[in-house]
Structure 1
Amino acid sequence: MAKSTTPTSAPSLLVSPAGRCQLKRYPLRTNDPLQAWDAADELLHQHIAADVTALEATHQPLVLNDQWGALLLPFAHCQVTTVNDSFVSQQGQLANLALNQLSTELTQLDPLATLPQATESVWLKIPKSQSLLEFQLAKLSSELQPGTPLRAAAKSKLFTPAVRELFAKYCDEIDISLIQRKCRVLTARVRSVPLNTEHFMSKWQLTEHNLTLHHHVGVFARNQLDIGARLLLDNLPEPGASEVIDLGCGNGVLGLVYAQSSPSSAVTWVDESHLAVASCRLNIEQNLATTPSYRAVTDDCLSQFTSHSVDLVLCNPPFHQEHAITEHIARQMFRDAKRVLRKGGEMRLVANRHLPYYHPLKRLFKQVKQVASNAKFVVYSCLT
């Protein structure tokens, strides 16, 4: 008998000392194989349950980098504030609150926002980006009361010597647990350290296009142009498209170069990262004329865009979501691009050669052709 090829759904019921809840990734997918929490979340739940003050309704916790609400839900009875770079994660938190029929005094902030001074405890999942981690620790140290208790958790492999040094720079009374289920928990108290904002901004020149690109922490290609984007820049569509979207824009380089070549085009830069969109807005301001025809927005792919409303989508799609390697984000981008493109419109994208995108693209678009390639990447033109 042939084995079933139907993917198995990951568990969605989280049971821990801090409570019992349903938790799903967002956007919802049928038979999603990826779980919405990990062992590090469960270890922090043990600390939440053991903290008597954290369970009080008047407690004001601050939760950072909680991807889908695993750390938020135990604090739903509190005046809780979350900090996330991801717009999609913020939507996932709201969806999981609704799934569990929980209402809360929730404040959602992006990483650049001012932190609430009344914060009484900090709960942090260590992010993939070390530069983002340092920026978050620096903001905690400059904006919260000295001595505020902090708990941070992650897989043990992320507690590198460099990460430990960052915590030592911004925290006191540091203690790191033994490994449990391949994860560790760090406890500490926030130290008062002035914030040097210039330390956390970077920029580099793209001389062939006369661009200066500015980057906040954690933004893709923060130090140089990635080779996939370079191949697409060398093979952009002809100027003249009326309405253009740079989807998954990062620092905005694709849309910036196209806008240079086609100044009559209205260009919208879209990313789910608040820090990417903030970087993109700065790059538009510094490199292009100020005009209502240029805007940068956060979105879950193109969920907020009208169908059949644009002529061209430029895309350098990701194939990871924090620590999870996955193609579903790119495929959602392809479906959304197909929906928002007018008849005769085009999506021009670059992808790693090893990723199996050609056949999914053929099922969506009227015509798919390869316009360029190198040893690692391929550029596709997809026409509606």
Structure 2
Amino acid sequence: IVYTGTGSYERCVRAVRLGAESFIDKAEPVERVVHAIGQALERHRLEREVVQLRRDLGTSSQIIGESRPMRELREAIARIASVPSPVLIVGESGSGKEVVARELHRLGPGERAPFVAINSAALPEHLVESELFGHERGAFTGATATRKGAFEAASGGTLFLDEVGELPPGTQAKLLRVLEQREITRVGGTRTITVDARVLAATNRNLEQDVREARFREDLYYRLNVLVLEVPPLRDRLSDLPALVTHLLEVTCRRYGVRTKQVSPEVLDALMAYDWRRNNVRELRNAVERMVIASPAGTIEPIHVPAELQTAAAGGSGLGKARTYQEQKAEAERRIVLLALEGNGWQISRTAEQLGLADHASLLKIMRRLGIEKPS
């Protein structure tokens, strides 16, 4: 708030354009000043409240699903998003570890801060340190100019290290030093550079076992293991599959420039029967893209389902050979209820009647037990 006695209208307007809340002439009564301060404080309170509500409601969130594991994951993300400590994200290949990392970034540093993702497994061993810490001109053959590394690029934001278990031993030691000292030295350089990037590391390996077998540094493991998030595999949250399919259809059709398609109940049944053990949500996304391309109409039919999924569904492999009877029974029951709900547009009473249940309360009780909730 600009409190002025100059009476210069142009200067006051310029002050507002530069970010001032308002301006008050010294000739005005003190009550006007108190009122302006109160309005400014209330405006800022409301702005903070809107930001918090957006976080609570998950606006722009890519975390899809209302199953119990996903609700617990979202709650954990919200709790630790603002904590600057490293986070270790564990889960099977394709389960959505980078999506979790981006959600932590969105709720923490924010979308305006840099987010730098590095796939440790995809980097040639002789270039890993250059990619992470940068290099000086002439540091090695081909280094014709000074280059900033990922830590510098992510300063003030988030550095996501995917497949951190694949880092070479020498790089692991240097990563530990950066996490502890918050400083890096470029390859071929001598000057230390302070960096301020939150590190999120992800792996589909059992790092505890790698530590025991001397494939991963124990001290680095415990430095990364401050906060841990476990991303559930898709087969353990099959109740989320219809919502995931709907989301992936919308994204894929928009990218291909076609009208949004839908899947028939038979197609959804085939997708629910599949195990998704090979690549989880990434494999589902691949299947959805193939079905969108294969289907000329607005509804995707069983004939458009990839052959390997049809075979698995026909053979009942979606139940999983290594699971207990109770696990297979619960999954089959969840699949039956979900298909009935989808077929009846999530009308509880109509679905309960179709399934031969006593009333809608019986169905609601089953849904709570199975962790099924209507997609928002």
Q: TM-score, normalised by structure 1?
A: 0.28
Larger strand percent: 1
Larger helix percent: 2
Q: Taking CA–CA contacts closer than 8 Å with sequence separation of 6 or more, which of the two structures ends up with the larger relative contact order?
A: 2
Bigger radius of gyration among the two: 2
Q: TM-score, normalised by structure 2?
A: 0.29
